[in-house]
Amino acid sequence: METCGEISNASSLKPHVTFLVITTDSTVAQHNYLHATPHPDLHIVDLPPADMSGLLFDDMTAVARLSVIAQESIRSLRSVLLSALNNRPKLQAFIIDIFCTDVFDACKDLSIPVYSFFTASAALLAFSLYLPTLDREVEGEFVDLPEPIKIPGCNRIQTHDLLDQVRNRKIDEYKWYLMHVSRLSMAKGIFANTWHDLEPVWLKALETEPFFADIPTPPVYPIGPLTKRIESASDGNADTREVMAWLDRQPKDSVLFVALGSGGTLKNVQLTELALGLELSQQRFILVVRTPSDSAFAALFTAGVDSDDPRVYLPDGFVERTKEVGLVVSSWAPQVAVLNHPSTGAYLSHCGWNSTLESIKHGVPMIGWPLYAEQRMNATMLSEEIGVAVKMPVVGERGETVVVGRKEIELVVRVVMEGEEGRKIRRRVKELEASARETLSCGGSSYEILAGVAESWKRLGRAMTTRSCMEPE
């Protein structure tokens, strides 16, 4: 998806904002979500699906698949932009995500400034900006390096925590990712979904370290935490109402919410151990489950379509034995509403960045269970650097996924829900919850940074309007 911000050429009018949606290979659930509650100031435009014949294969990795879809879907973008320029005020900004760097080419000769919205952490942004240098200087695989990776001005990254996309330099996924991050320097600016109190070391390095200035790195604007709004139980479906009603009956801070993101799946043996570990812990829980798969991101491109009965693949009798303390939900739960509920005491999370921000923003400590992409980096940072999580030992010494047994799961769950370490991380996450609220408030850092950029677009629009009015006919 890309966002195109159009600034009105009349200073008395509000800015026009258009959200261009890539519909190629999207699910019905994704379409319904975007179009369910239209905003009066947001114009949503669905780009026509691209012909992907012969371009997508079942064994494609996630980044390669996303990159090909984005590349093909935005081939017609230039004509879309020309039409917009002929019929509306001049575009002041075009905001893209990391997979849509072909937009730089489409906008260059139209003099439209392109910004990148980096939806992951500042830590991953710093690593991504450093990756072209690493690619030039290191022979062989990064995972074979004898020492952690040291980015100028930043904390070290253990090689076993490296994101999936850079673990094998011979595959297309690595080449796609390297291409995209190599083009970040072409952006007018980079919006980062984070804030200074959460990642002070990484943001300071991006802003002041000479290495990043020499790349050159565009201005980095930390404007987070930007998260999904809280779902209203009254607006949700019957499943949402059931989840929230069940939570309403539980004591404060007593429920462990277990959800592995919109695309995460576990192998059958690991799902069995997780369920039995939860049972052994004797803690209240909400368990969101999907059909087991050997691929950790099997549901990434089919979000919202899993309707199998969990009893088919959970341990025999598990649902019945735990019905007094647990609630099993198939495929999806209203995550933000659950995290915001006073009964929720902790979150067993895949450590995707959106889910991480949602958990911190609502003051919920985490158990890190990383699955794919940069989630291992996030889990380590959350537990060892930020102090808001306990990391489940699901990653081996070389970054491989290992099966965690039920007794280990029981122990970690009890530590977070009942132990002193759990109380410590709860205190820390409450501090960051207050910081997140402050930075997004009027006068807060993230609020003022975003407001300042938007005001610069408006000033440019007003200046262009003035020049246009002074030109003779």
Flag whether 452 is in a domain.
yes
pLDDT digit of tens for each residue in the chain (473 aa)?
A: 344 444 334 444 566 788 888 999 887 877 787 887 778 888 888 888 899 999 999 888 889 999 999 999 998 888 877 776 665 667 889 999 999 999 999 888 888 899 999 999 999 999 999 999 999 999 999 999 999 999 999 999 999 999 999 999 999 999 999 999 999 999 999 999 999 999 999 999 999 999 999 999 999 999 999 998 886 655 567 888 999 999 999 999 999 999 999 888 999 999 999 999 999 999 999 999 999 988 776 656 555 545 578 999 999 999 999 999 999 999 889 999 999 999 999 999 999 999 999 999 999 999 999 999 999 999 999 999 999 999 999 998 888 899 999 999 999 999 999 999 999 999 999 999 999 999 999 999 999 999 999 999 988 777 765 555 555 54
Q: Taking a C-beta distance cutoff of 8 angstroms, is the pair 58, 25 a contact?
A: no
Regarding whether 238 and 98 lie in a shared domain, the answer is no
* Nearest Cα to Cα of residue 370 among 387, 360, 386, 356: 356
* Nearest Cα to Cα of residue 123 among 346, 384, 466: 384
Flag whether 229 is in a domain.
no
Regarding whether 458 and 350 lie in a shared domain, the answer is no
Regarding whether 255 and 209 lie in a shared domain, the answer is no
- pTM assigned to the model: 0.92
Flag whether 72 is in a domain.
yes
Number of domains in the chain: 2
Flag whether 90 is in a domain.
yes
Flag whether 288 is in a domain.
yes
Regarding whether 412 and 323 lie in a shared domain, the answer is yes
Domain assignment of residue 56, given as a range:
2-224+442-470
Regarding whether 422 and 386 lie in a shared domain, the answer is yes
Regarding whether 188 and 148 lie in a shared domain, the answer is yes
Sheet architecture: strand order including 284-289: 326-330, 284-289, 255-259, 344-349, 366-368, 389-391
Regarding whether 170 and 26 lie in a shared domain, the answer is yes
Regarding whether 306 and 168 lie in a shared domain, the answer is no
Regarding whether 331 and 463 lie in a shared domain, the answer is no
Flag whether 336 is in a domain.
yes
* Structure tokens given for 60: 């494609």
Quick one: which H or E segment has residue 32? helix 28-36
Flag whether 212 is in a domain.
yes
Regarding whether 430 and 450 lie in a shared domain, the answer is no
Flag whether 69 is in a domain.
yes
Regarding whether 169 and 101 lie in a shared domain, the answer is yes
Give 124's DSSP letter.
H
> What is the CATH classification number for the domain harbouring 283?
3.40.50.2000
Regarding whether 351 and 306 lie in a shared domain, the answer is yes
